[in-house]
Structure 1
């Protein structure tokens, strides 16, 4: 969905990674969890923090900071896991995303959202739906379905399936 397709006021969950504020459509958010123990999985990409047990289900957890080329998420009392539902090849998948902190749920009108800046053809920015403006602050609105490439999500999905098989044995 592009900015031009946003024609009504929507609610977004805002969260921080470093000093930057990001947002995702609340319709994609399942829940926000306090940081719980994450089980690391060997031989996974750096951005893959591991998996958590969410009421009996294995949920992969990714470090968004690493995905965005930032430093690894440092654990603080505000660190949390934003559990989102993403779509890969028309199949729904639940993923946890580490965030430095969750801010609030905000309403943004279409006129408060500008298209994502064009950075050039070599830098991937298709996962930024737009730039929300609130007071003097910019908020990067993520298209959470596009934050990871299809290959990355397929890798996470395959690891999730492997972990479920191991736990079932």
Structure 2
């Protein structure tokens, strides 16, 4: 595989080692990362428009150059303690694929950390914890210095049954129309 092909597929070749590039961010002092190819842009926190009758983790909607996109507060989605949004709060605008349809949405995080390139050998499988804890959206863990970075499958997270029913673009638009 040549370097041009690898970069198009989201993989980067450094020397003889091939890896995938991730954007990392913080939630409650824990570091998470997503495939950088799913990131459309980063935006500083700006208030969003609340939508009635939506789950509490759906913070509202944002007008992104004429497109109305749902914005999910990942702290609330993960049942973490609520904090005030501050100067480091960021909305990561992402592309999510569901049933071969691409949607654009925002996720609110405490802060963006950095970009990493991880090769497959560095990525450890997600531990099986059993019970009612759903870890389907965790694709792996990477030990980085003295901490662990949780790699997330943003498609799985944003397309879980309850999320896809509650925040599909059509449902948000329908609710917006009904409330005006």
2:165 corresponds, among 154, 157, 160, to: 154
Residue number in structure 1 paired with 2:153: 143
Q: How does 1:23-38 map to 2 (within 5 A)?
A: 23-38=33-48
How many residues of Structure 1 are paired with residues of Structure 2 in the alignment? 163
TM-score, length-scaled by structure 2:
0.83
1:111 corresponds, among 121, 124, 140, to: 121
User: Do structure 1's residue 91 and structure 2's residue 108 form an aligned pair?
Assistant: no
Q: How does 1:53-132 map to 2 (within 5 A)?
A: 53-132=63-142
Partner SS, residue 83 of structure 1:
strand
Instruction: Report deviation, 1:81.
Output: 0.1
Task: Please give the alpha-carbon distance, in whole angstroms, between the structure 1 residues aligned to 2:98 and 2:131.
Answer: 24
Task: Please give the alpha-carbon distance, in whole angstroms, between the structure 2 residues aligned to 1:72 and 1:90.
Answer: 34
Instruction: Report deviation, 1:163.
Output: 5.8
User: Do structure 1's residue 20 and structure 2's residue 30 form an aligned pair?
Assistant: yes
Task: Please give the alpha-carbon distance, in whole angstroms, between the structure 1 residues aligned to 2:86 and 2:25.
Answer: 14
Deviations 1:20-73 (A, max 9, x none): 000000011111101112001111001100001111110100011111111234
Q: Which has the higher contact order (CA 8 A, sep 6+)?
A: 1
Partner SS, residue 147 of structure 1:
helix
1:128/1:140 contact within 8 Å kept? yes
Task: Please give the alpha-carbon distance, in whole angstroms, between the structure 2 residues aligned to 1:75 and 1:131.
Answer: 27
RMSD: 2.1
Stretches of structure 1 that go unaligned for 5 or more consecutive residues are: 1-5
TM-score, length-scaled by structure 1:
0.88
Task: Please give the alpha-carbon distance, in whole angstroms, between the structure 1 residues aligned to 2:92 and 2:113.
Answer: 12
